[in-house]
Structure 1
């Protein structure tokens, strides 16, 4: 019997998330807000941070003071943008990042606002209003999640959530792992990914939530979602059952950890279904050895395993019938055996 193995699709968002959960130094680089600035034609600009000193910003500070005196908000924002792009480590960048972030937030430019605010965490963690900034960044991601995604030719997106929010939630959880909203950011990342059928990203986000925040109020939901997502990977009992085993494992964890949860009934139904799928696979494997290979020893092992996994299932009934036949010494009748008997072939 051929066992088919399911290979997961890998996409750029998944690679970003994997880099975050590995806590490798490259993860920090991948989240560097400077990398998010791009030129008008969409190509990445080369950021020269070697000039991040106060001397390099003197001229900009003078221009900024003049634009403030004139009340020219547009000119101020232009200068702020230049400071953040070329001098993110300079002291004036604190003012630039905060004011630029608030300005873009009020304009509902959620991604740009999030990126501007991130410079404060990256280069100025001592900023006095950092707590406010952290809250605003979460609002940016949350607002973007619920914002209708623009489609080409004016068509409306059918997606439940805006998938452009996924990198923001992932970045938020990495930048502020001890913040109260970090577990929720991972949960939102998973839900948005799941709504767009990006199950791999959802699974990695949920695992990060479960492993890093076991006591969070959102962890039970993470177990619930990941068990159901793994069940979506299953194409039938004849396929590779790694996903089935994972679904069973998370169902068992949910039942053990949250026996009084309001969704315990739903999980128990899923658990029985997954056990039956795995038991059916054991019966198919046992049948292969019983009918094709005439290996009763191997067949007995897998039939017994099916019964142990799901004793009340149809698979268990079939397994017991086969075991009874083996005990009685009944040889399996196959098409080949019938032809041999018909023509008196030994």
Structure 2
């Protein structure tokens, strides 16, 4: 027969502990106050505990409208969201600092945070470009307000990257129609690449496809003009070198 006495003694010990005042085993943690949310949130932030910091500071910020620590808490909350890849939430915190405290020192970091967060949100070129356009807007704005800074140089590099994505998307849209023999529609997209993103490597590819499209449509004058433009404006591109090596009347055929 199983000896149940040890189990009975353990149950009795638990009952006695529950009856003792202040027993740690059954003690209810004190409710989180605004002060403790801030203190624990910043402690977690400084320790690199990003999710914990975001949780606690997220409880402090709505109750700290007139608190002088609000700006710092918003910046910490935004950076914590960046670290946890909650980029949309990060933009909300940085935008608050930039709009509510536009002349304070924190505004510069907040504006760069907006640029950074939207750059991270920017998807592959084939997807909706909403966040890519937002990244261009905020990064161009930052670079114009804080020229000559390392962050401005980074923002400009991100702008070039984002514009390259838009150029690629426009080119691929044009090529979609080109492959199906819908050359007029393809030309519209290819022309958009060249006019809106002339600095992009996709521009020389778009001009080559436009040359081919005009040739297949039998528009000899437009074909020749587009060919000449490619050779003139992008002479070092692979497309221009290949086209220059081919007979002029063989383009597009």
Indicate the TM-score class for this superposition, using the shorter chain for normalisation: 0.5 to 0.7
Matched, 1:179 2:67: yes
Find the aligned partners of 2:83 and 2:108 in 1 and give their Cα distance. 19
Work out which of the residue numbers 144, 158, 174 in structure 1 matches 2:44: 144
Shift of 1:217: 1.8
User: What is the TM-score normalised by the length of structure 1?
Assistant: 0.49
Contact kept? 2:50, 2:81, Cα under 8 Å: no
Contact kept? 2:122, 2:132, Cα under 8 Å: yes
Matched, 1:272 2:140: no
Q: Which has the higher contact order (CA 8 A, sep 6+)?
A: 1
Who is 1:256 aligned against?
A: 144
1:140/1:306 CA distance change after superposition, 3 Å? same
Q: How far does the alpha carbon of each residue in 1:74-121 deviate from its partner, in whole angstroms, 9 at most, with x for none?
A: 98xxxxxx9xxxxxxxxxxxxxxxxxxxxxxxxxx9xx58x33x3xxx
Work out which of the residue numbers 317, 320, 323 in structure 1 matches 2:210: 323
Find the aligned partners of 2:191 and 2:109 in 1 and give their Cα distance. 34
Find the aligned partners of 2:118 and 2:104 in 1 and give their Cα distance. 22
What pairs with 1:296-307 in structure 2 (closer than 5 Å)? 296=184, 298-307=185-194
Q: How far does the alpha carbon of each residue in 1:210-254 deviate from its partner, in whole angstroms, 9 at most, with x for none?
A: 333323322222232332333333442222222211211111221
User: 5+ unaligned residues in a row in structure 1: which ranges?
Assistant: 1-73, 76-81, 83-108, 119-132, 148-159, 332-346
Greater shift in the superposed pair: 249-258 or 231-240: 231-240
1:308/1:187 CA distance change after superposition, 3 Å? farther
Who is 2:200 aligned against?
A: 313
Find the aligned partners of 2:37 and 2:201 in 1 and give their Cα distance. 52
Matched, 1:195 2:88: no
Shift of 1:295: 4.2
What pairs with 1:1-346 in structure 2 (closer than 5 Å)? 115-116=32-33, 118=34, 138-147=38-47, 160-292=48-180, 294-296=182-184, 298-329=185-216
Contact kept? 1:173, 1:185, Cα under 8 Å: yes
Find the aligned partners of 1:309 and 1:214 in 2 and give their Cα distance. 32
Q: Would you tell me which structure has more helix in proportion to its own residues? A: 2
- Return the index of the structure with the highest Cα Rg: 2
Who is 2:251 aligned against?
A: none
Find the aligned partners of 1:249 and 1:165 in 2 and give their Cα distance. 29
User: What is the TM-score normalised by the length of structure 2?
Assistant: 0.65
User: 5+ unaligned residues in a row in structure 2: which ranges?
Assistant: 1-20, 23-27, 219-253
Who is 2:240 aligned against?
A: none
Find the aligned partners of 1:309 and 1:222 in 2 and give their Cα distance. 29
Shift of 1:279: 0.6
Find the aligned partners of 2:191 and 2:100 in 1 and give their Cα distance. 38
Contact kept? 2:164, 2:200, Cα under 8 Å: yes
Find the aligned partners of 2:177 and 2:215 in 1 and give their Cα distance. 17
Shift of 1:321: 1.6
Shift of 1:189: 0.7
Contact kept? 2:122, 2:135, Cα under 8 Å: no
Who is 1:102 aligned against?
A: none
The CA RMSD measured in Å over matched residues stands at 2.9
1:309/1:228 CA distance change after superposition, 3 Å? farther
